[in-house]
Amino acid sequence: MNEVTKIAPNAVEAQRPDPMASMIERVAMDPNIPLDRMTALMDMRERQMNKEAEQVFNQAFAAAMSEMRDVPKSGKNNHTQQKYSTLDDLIRTTRPVLARHGLSLNWQTSINANEISVTAIVRHAMGHSIQTTLIGPRDTGKQMNTLQGGGSTETYLKRYTGFSILGLSSGDEVEDDGRGANVETIDADQYIILRDLIAETNTDEAKFFLAYGVRDTDLRHFPESSFKSAVAQLERKKAQQAAQ
């Protein structure tokens, strides 16, 4: 008895000859074709392949995101008491879904003086990719040494770029007005106290905000729950500077 082998539609598509590739092959066999024309055909083919790769990426990315479940929140901000999703939560949740659709998420890190740059990249198996970059100062809080501070900042930036490029919520975003959701911010008197201490101690504001896990660099939106510890830290720094 003869057996009939069924071929999946995708396999049929894969077996169909590419008209552009066939044309380039024919042209390449003709010694009379000018080199610049051959180069133009190769460039056209490359643009076509890039466009196809982008279309496949968009379809795969949309499918993956439709399957993506909410990222758990195993982390807790000790200053705001707000729960958030850690980098490990992000990776464990997204990696299997992305892989099912030929996608991957990874990061590239570069260090320049005291600044650390982290780029999140989502790639597809066919070659197309998207990326986003954030730059931040090395974390100098909590009595960290240089290596620990660099690792802290790198993890922090990986979290934000990862959630950003995938369009997911980490649990510690700020509202449109720059204030954390349901987080009380300092009042006018507290603002003046912090502003003056920062100026008197010549404190780098970017590093100051990063040490307290605050994304919004507008001092008016500094969380009230972190005010006392921030003042104590700045007062100690002021005393140390006066003793020198």
Q: Over the stretch 153-203, which tens digit does the pLDDT of each residue have? A: 888 889 988 988 898 877 655 444 344 445 678 887 888 888 888 888 888
Closest CA to 126 of 59, 43, 64: 59
Residue range 131-147: mean pLDDT, rounded? 75
Closest CA to 56 of 21, 97, 101: 101
Q: Which of 8-12, 31-35, 101-105, 233-237 has the lowest mean pLDDT?
A: 8-12
pLDDT at 92: 95
Residue range 234-244: mean pLDDT, rounded? 84
5 domain residue, yes or no: no
pTM across the whole model = 0.57
Average pLDDT, the chain: 78
Q: Domain check: are 140 and 191 in the same one?
A: no
Residue range 49-74: mean pLDDT, rounded? 90
pLDDT at 3: 44
CA atoms within 13 A on the CB side of 101: 21
Domain limits for position 135: 16-173
Q: What 3-state class would DSSP assign to 235?
A: helix
Residue range 108-132: mean pLDDT, rounded? 89
Q: Domain check: are 151 and 49 in the same one?
A: yes
Query: Who has greater pLDDT, 89 or 174?
Result: 89
Q: Domain check: are 55 and 165 in the same one?
A: yes
10 domain residue, yes or no: no
For the chain, what is the domain count? 2
Q: Domain check: are 49 and 26 in the same one?
A: yes
Q: Which amino acid is at 57?
A: F
Eight-state DSSP code of residue 109: E
pLDDT at 11 over 60: no
Residue range 214-218: mean pLDDT, rounded? 68
Q: Domain check: are 20 and 111 in the same one?
A: yes
Question: Quick one: pLDDT band at residue 205, thresholds 50, 70, 90?
Answer: confident
pLDDT at 240: 83
CA distances from 95 to 72, 100, 109, 152 (A): 14, 9, 19, 22
Residue range 219-237: mean pLDDT, rounded? 84
Q: Domain check: are 68 and 90 in the same one?
A: yes
pLDDT at 15 over 50: no
- Boundary-marking domain end, from 173, 192, 224: 173
4 domain residue, yes or no: no
Percent of the chain with pLDDT over 90: 20
With beta carbons less than 8 A apart as the criterion, state whether 129 and 68 touch. Answer: no
